[in-house]
Amino acid sequence: MKAPPPPVTPFRRERLARAPWIASHMLVRDGAAHERQRRLVTAAFTRRRVESLAPSMQAITDALLDEVLIAGKDGSTVDLLAQFAFPLPMTVICELMGVPAHLRDDIKAGMETTFRGMGMPDEEWAAKFEVLERSLTELVATKRREPGDDLISALIEVRDDGGDTLSEDELLSMTFILIAAGHETTVHLIANGVEALLTHRPQWDLLRAEPERVPAAVEELLCWCGPVQVAFPLIAAEPVDVGGAVIGTGELVIVALMPANRDSAQVAEPDVLDVTREPRPHLGFGHGIHHCLGVALARLEARIAFETLLRRCPELRLAVDPDELTWAPSFIFHGLDRLPVTVT
C-alpha cells in the first residue's frame, strides 16, 4: 500500500535547514530585532509607493479581464482563479518589487511549490525550491548593481539614523516574504470573495447597483472567507489564561484567525454575509507589532479587482454546483483549487 503523504505543515525542519536565510524576516522575530527590521522596511515600503501603482494595477486588471471575456465568450467555462485571481497579484507584486520579466516565471513556480507543495517528496521540493533561491539571489544582486525605482532597490538603500542596513540574508528573506505575502494572500482574498458573493447572489447584485460599497465589502469578505487560516506560531513567554484554558510558559501557540474573525462576542450574526454592515473588527491583517505592512496594497488591489469585475462581468456566475468546489490543502492559507465561472 502506498505510504501517506507527510503532514501538511508550514515547513518541515529539515527543509528549513537547507535555507537558513528564509527565517531572517521580521514575521518570525520579536522584540528589538523585529523593531529594527520593521523600522527599516517601513521606511522603504511607503504609502506613496503603493498608491503610485494604482494606474498600472487598473491596467493589469483590465488586460486580464479582456482575456477572461474572450475565453468565456459563448458561455464557455473559465477558471477565474487561474486566469485572473492568480496572475493579478503576482504581476502587481512583481511590478512593486521590480522583478524583471525573465525571473517572474521561476519565482512564481517556486512560490507555488513552497506554499502548495507541502506533501511533495523532499528531493522534488528541494530541487524546485533551489530554483526559487537562485532567482531571488540573482534579483537582489541585480538590484544592488542596477538600482531602480522599486521596493527591492529601496530596501537595499534604506538606512536608519545610525547607518544600519538590512544584511544580505535579511534582504533575501524580506524579498521572499514580501512577494509571498503580497501575492498568495491576495489571490485567495479575490477568489474566495468572488465565490462568497456568487453563492450569495443578492450581495453581488447589491454591489453591482452600489459599487461605492466595495471597500466595506472587502472588509466583510476578510472576516467571512479570509485567505489566511493561522498566524505564525508563537511561544508563550509566561502563563496565560485564554477562555479558561491555561497556556504554560514555553508552550507552542497557533492562533486560528478564521474562527476568531467570526467571534459572536465581537459581532452580531457573524455567520451572515452582509456587505452593508459597518466594517467589523477582524484579524485579516494580523494584530499588534506584526500587523501587516501591506494593508494599503491589499485593500487597493482588492478594491480595484472587485470594482472591475462587477462593472465588466455583471453576469458572472459559478459554472458548477458550489458543493463541487474544492479547497487546497494548506496549513497556512485558505483558498480554492479552482473557480470555474461563466461570464455571459
Rounded (10°) CA dihedral 244, 249, 251, 253: 60
Decide if 338 contacts 78 (C-beta within 8 A): no
Number of domains in the chain: 1
Please tell me whether residue 264 adopts helix, strand or coil conformation: coil
Domain with residue 26: its CATH number is 1.10.630.10
Residue 91 pLDDT: 93
Cα–Cα dist 110/244, whole Å: 42
Place of cell 468565456: 72
Cα–Cα dist 155/96, whole Å: 12
| Residue 206: inside a domain | yes
Residue 74, number of CB atoms within 10 A of its CB: 6
| Residue 242: inside a domain | yes
Q: Closest by alpha carbon to 192, among 85, 92, 275?
A: 85
Cα–Cα dist 64/69, whole Å: 9
DSSP code for 317 = E
Q: Is the pTM of this model over 0.85?
A: yes
Cα–Cα dist 329/8, whole Å: 7
Portion of the chain with pLDDT greater than 90, in percent:
56
| Residue 163: inside a domain | yes
Cα–Cα dist 166/229, whole Å: 30
14 pLDDT exceeds 70?
A: no
- Interhelix angle 295-312/201-209, rounded to 10 degrees, is 90
| Residue 67: inside a domain | yes
| Residue 8: inside a domain | no
Place of cell 515600503: 45
Q: pLDDT, tens digit, for every residue of 234-265?
A: 888 899 998 899 999 999 888 899 999 998 88
| Residue 5: inside a domain | no
Rounded (10°) CA dihedral 102, 107, 110, 114: 180
| Residue 4: inside a domain | no
Residue 70, number of CB atoms within 10 A of its CB: 11
Cα–Cα dist 267/273, whole Å: 12
| Residue 2: inside a domain | no
- CB-count exposure of residue 204 (10 Å: 0-12, 13-18, 19+): buried
- Domain with 303 in it: 13-342
16 pLDDT exceeds 80?
A: no
Contacts of 70 (CB under 8 A, 6+ apart): none
Q: pLDDT, tens digit, for every residue of 62-118?
A: 999 999 999 999 999 999 999 999 999 999 999 999 999 999 988 888 887 776 666
